Amino acid sequence: MLLERFRIGLRRHRGPRRLADGGSPDFTTPVSCNAREGWRCDPEQVPGCLIVDDNASFLEAAVKLLEREGVTVSGVVSTSEEALRRTRDLRPDVVLVDITLGSESGFELARRLAETASGATVILISTHAESDYVDLIAESPAAGFVPKFELSADAIRRLASDPRGR
């Protein structure tokens, strides 16, 4: 049920490419690439992702959705301290941070992640509308914001490659 809600308005994964002249698949392609036989995912387009959210059912649905679309989910955590530790250990390309982490602030976590100089792109997510937090999002070091119901590999790639539409 929850997973169905996240499918609304999502575009299909554009990572798979046809192998030229019946060539062989690239065996260094991440396991999460779900390209069919004779195709492969472009590793340059498959970001490693850490998801930070205190809602276990959302984490489960988001992992399934993103991996199906070709994103390598390297970990999921539910607190700021876990996020900082796992970002340091896993070195993900992208960290998806829920704006509201129980009693913790996703904005504060985004600031702390930016200070660690991990190189990870931070993307804020929430069930709330962007307009509810527009000033805080603009002031944060995050690359941008994606509503949870619009979460997709394309949204992540778009913000990771062109933060804030620049």
Q: Using one digit for the tens of pLDDT, what is the confidence trace for 60-107? A: 999 999 999 989 999 999 999 999 999 999 999 999 999 999 899 999
Structural fold of domain 2-165: Rossmann fold (3.40.50)
Provide the β-strand partners of residue 121. 94
- Radius of gyration (C-alpha) of the chain in whole angstroms: 16
Q: CA 83, 94, 75, 102 torsion: positive or negative?
A: positive
Low-confidence ranges of the chain (pLDDT < 50): 1-46, 166
Average pLDDT, the chain: 76
Cα angle value 36/10/12 (rounded, 5°): 20
Residue 156: name the closest of 123, 114, 120, 131 by CA: 123
Helix (H, G, I), strand (E, B) or coil at 116: coil
Quick one: pLDDT at residue 37?
Answer: 45
Question: Nearest 5 degrees, angle CA 147-CA 56-CA 157?
Answer: 40
> Residue 39 CB: number of other CB atoms within 10 A?
14
This prediction has a pTM of: 0.72
List Cα–Cα distances, 116 to 11, 37, 109, in angstroms.
Answer: 33, 40, 11
Rounded to 10°, the helix 106-115/80-90 angle is 30
- Polymer length of the chain: 166
Q: What is the pLDDT of residue 163?
A: 61
